[in-house]
């Protein structure tokens, strides 16, 4: 009974993501700021994120600084490392602050998919996987976010994605698998995978570049405040307060501060304040540090935040823990090669080529946890490696059987219905038309006719917060009156306005790296 209740609540969550009435109006924020503006005097910080917070009213600018640094970057994932590499290339002291004991944040455990319409290896042409273009990638991204993404930012993301990918290959030693995936919501095969199969492949490449430019990473060091004198729109960032262990220090910033701290998916209270339908019962794919306090600190000194109600569920997470492990990426990579999603009755319930929010809603509507992805051994090289699959079997994440009937028995689903489902899907693929769900078929797809066959259990978990700080094309943070805040930049999941109501899978890494490079380059020449 409780599972059914949770499913209903989760259904509401998905619906809320795609409706703009869930969004707090900018006008309301502006009105609140106008009321509070008179209180901003002396060295006090105006806390627009939480006006009642006594901490903001008591904050006083330090009279002396413990250290001076040219460029400080908060967060050590894709965006932070990319920013550090570009800022370091401009000269001066560049420091990355990471509150966790290890570098990488969510990026290092990311599924490792990078969308780019081309690359210097020209994989799409080599593999004869059809055409693609920056405009097609842009249009898919805008459509995938229900057109809430800002077109000028999306254009930068999609047009510069190949350049960012090639930069890591040429300068960081990144190696790609000889495969391209067409994932949910995309109209072309453009999803690249690094040989490691996880985000670490990219973070190690960018870390190599950043450290080669002299960037320093300080672990166990958390941002606890941003210092900005009260004044007009031209008042710059002065410095920051950080905490490392029991020690607090104030750092003066000479050139610029870059925020790349990620989203707020792990902060249940913050999640619910913007979208109450994302109930606490949802698991989360992300690391514990994804708590969003940096967004609040930026708001406290006047930064604008937008689209905070748009929170994405990852439909392929491990059902009980919500973990995004290597097996959990196979259902995401598989749609372009013929993977099939079935429920506990052995029946399809969605077009496998749909985007993540649609698949999540369809799963929840089944009222049956979990659902399963079905694929064959012939598909494995398209989605991963035999070694990954064997490890997944040992851990109980993949189920393998020689026949569909045996696989149904292991999954405890009706064998007749399951076999009929797969038979019908194979028929649809041969005919090139799916009368049930409208799936588009391509020549690259493989029918489920020859075993061994595999299954993996899956269920939605909170994955990505599309809302965050507002930025312009130069990655400058914009205040609530529409002006850039001097010496303040941001990139990655801490920002909003790019992905809209739903992020297409594989767009996160290019978003972080493209805008991280822009932010870091501009930060390095600021001041």
- List, by residue number, the catalytic residues: 356
Kindly write down the DSSP assignment for every residue of 475-495, as one continuous string.
Answer: -EEEBTTS-EEEEEEE-GGGB
Place of tokens 């009321």: 35
Which residues neighbour 110 within 8 Å (Cβ) at sequence distance 6 or greater?
78, 198, 199, 202, 508, 509
| Closest C-alpha to 33, from 21, 51, 6 | 51
Q: Which DSSP helix (H) or strand (E) runs through 464? A: strand 453-465
Cα-based distances in Å from 526 to 231, 256, 262, 458, 509:
20, 6, 23, 46, 25
Tokens 């997470």 belong to residue: 317
- The kind and range of the H/E element at 512 are helix 508-524
321 Cβ neighbours under 8 A, 6+ residues apart = 283
350 phi/psi in degrees, rounded to 5? -165, 160
Handedness of CA 495, 274, 74, 117 (dihedral sign): negative
* Cα dihedral 338→344→349→352 (10° resolution): -30
Buried b (16+ CB within 10 A) or exposed e, 186-217: bbbbbbbbbebbbbbbbbbbbbbbbbebebeb
Angle formed by the axes of helices 200-212 and 78-89, nearest 10° = 20
For residue 114, the 8-state DSSP code is E
Rounded Cα–Cα distance for residues 382 and 41 (Å): 60
Residues 6+ apart with CB under 8 A from 101: 219, 220
What tokens appear for 163 in the block? 């350049």
Biggest alpha carbon–alpha carbon distance for the chain: 76
DSSP single-letter state for residue 117:
S
Number of C-beta neighbours around residue 97 at 10 A: 25
Distance between the two ends of the chain, CA-based, in angstroms?
60
Sign of CA pseudo-dihedral 322, 328, 332, 338: negative
Q: State how far the Cα of 93 lies from the Cα of 333, in Å rounded to an integer.
A: 40
- SS3 for 344-398, per residue? CCCCECCCCCCCHHHHHHHHHHHCCCCEEEEEEHHHHHHHCCHHHHHHHHHCCCE
């Amino acid at each position: 009974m409780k599972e059914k209740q949770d499913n209903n609540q989760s259904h509401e969550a998905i619906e809320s993501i795609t409706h703009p009435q869930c969004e707090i109006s900018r006008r309301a924020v502006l009105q609140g700021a106008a009321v509070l503006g008179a209180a901003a005097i002396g060295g006090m910080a105006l806390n627009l994120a939480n006006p009642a917070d006594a901490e903001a009213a008591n904050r006083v600018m330090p009279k002396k600084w413990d250290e001076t640094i040219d460029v400080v970057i908060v967060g050590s994932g894709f965006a932070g490392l990319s920013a550090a590499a570009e800022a370091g290339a401009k000269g001066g002291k560049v420091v990355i602050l990471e509150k966790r004991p290890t570098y990488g944040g969510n990026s290092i455990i990311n599924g490792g998919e990078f969308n780019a319409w081309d690359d210097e290896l020209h994989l799409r042409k080599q593999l004869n996987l059809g055409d693609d273009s920056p405009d097609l990638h842009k249009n898919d991204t805008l459509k995938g976010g229900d057109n809430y993404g800002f077109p000028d930012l999306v254009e930068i993301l999609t047009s510069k994605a190949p350049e960012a990918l090639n930069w890591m290959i040429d300068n960081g030693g990144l190696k790609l698998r000889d495969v391209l995936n067409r994932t949910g919501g995309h109209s072309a095969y453009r999803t690249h995978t690094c040989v490691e199969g996880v985000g670490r492949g990219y973070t190690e490449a960018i870390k190599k570049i950043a450290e080669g430019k002299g960037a320093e990473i300080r672990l166990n060091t958390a941002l606890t405040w941003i210092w900005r004198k009260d004044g007009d729109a031209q008042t710059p960032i002065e410095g920051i307060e950080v905490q490392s262990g029991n020690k607090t220090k104030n750092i003066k910033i000479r050139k610029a501060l870059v925020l790349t701290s990620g989203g707020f998916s792990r902060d249940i209270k913050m999640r619910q304040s913007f979208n109450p339908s994302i109930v606490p019962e949802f698991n989360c794919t992300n690391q514990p540090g994804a708590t969003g306090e940096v967004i609040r600190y930026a708001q406290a000194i006047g930064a604008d935040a937008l689209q905070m109600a748009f929170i994405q569920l990852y439909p392929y997470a491990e059902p009980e823990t919500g973990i995004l492990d290597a097996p959990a990426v196979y259902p995401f990579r598989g749609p372009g090669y013929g993977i099939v999603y079935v429920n506990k009755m052995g029946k399809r319930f969605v077009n496998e080529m749909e985007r993540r929010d649609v698949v999540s809603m369809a799963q929840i509507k089944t009222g049956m946890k979990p659902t399963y992805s079905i694929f064959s051994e012939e598909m494995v090289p398209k989605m991963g490696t035999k070694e990954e699959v064997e490890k997944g079997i040992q851990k109980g994440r993949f189920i393998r059987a020689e026949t569909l009937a045996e696989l149904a028995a292991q999954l405890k689903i009706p064998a007749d219905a399951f076999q009929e489902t797969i038979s019908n899907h194979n028929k649809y693929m041969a005919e090139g038309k799916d009368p049930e769900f409208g799936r588009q078929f391509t020549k690259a797809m493989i029918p489920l006719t020859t075993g061994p066959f595999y299954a993996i259990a899956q269920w939605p978990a909170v994955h990505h917060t599309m809302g965050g700080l507002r930025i312009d094309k130069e990655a400058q943070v914009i205040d609530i009156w529409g002006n850039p805040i001097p010496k303040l930049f941001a990139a990655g999941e801490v920002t909003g306005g790019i992905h809209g109501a739903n992020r297409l899978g594989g767009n996160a890494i290019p978003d972080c790296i493209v805008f991280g490079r822009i932010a870091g380059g501009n930060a390095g020449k600021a001041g």
